[in-house]
Amino acid sequence: MAMDAHEIERLIKDGIPDAEVTIRDLAGDGDHYSATVLSASFRGKSRVQQHQLVYAALKGQMGGVLHALALQTGVPEK
């Protein structure tokens, strides 16, 4: 039950084309990741809404195959 970091990044970028995605494999086990996702499309949205967009891009993998993805979202600096 693991997922490749590149696969996570690909799914997020498919769903949110302008996303800047940084993934870290926290435990080195391919199962506990942290992701930072920056996108201009997050502007004006609440944190919950931003995370929901990322989860939607992950197409139901979150909470299933992907057990632990610590997520931080935001709008790019400029």
Q: Identify the residue among 51, 53, 65, 76 touching other proteins (CB under 8 A).
A: 51
Min separation Cβ 60 and other proteins, Å: 7
Taking the least distance from each CB to other proteins, the nearer of 43 and 59 is: 59
Task: Order the strands of the 20-25 sheet from edge to edge.
Answer: 20-25, 32-38, 68-74
Q: Identify the residue among 26, 47, 65, 76 touching other proteins (CB under 8 A).
A: 47
- Dihedral of alpha carbons 42, 47, 48, 51, sign: positive
Stretch near other proteins under the rule CB under 8 A, chosen from 3-11, 15-23, 37-45, 46-54: 46-54
State the Cα–Cα distance between residues 27 and 30, nearest whole angstrom: 7
62 is a contact residue toward other proteins (CB under 8 A): yes
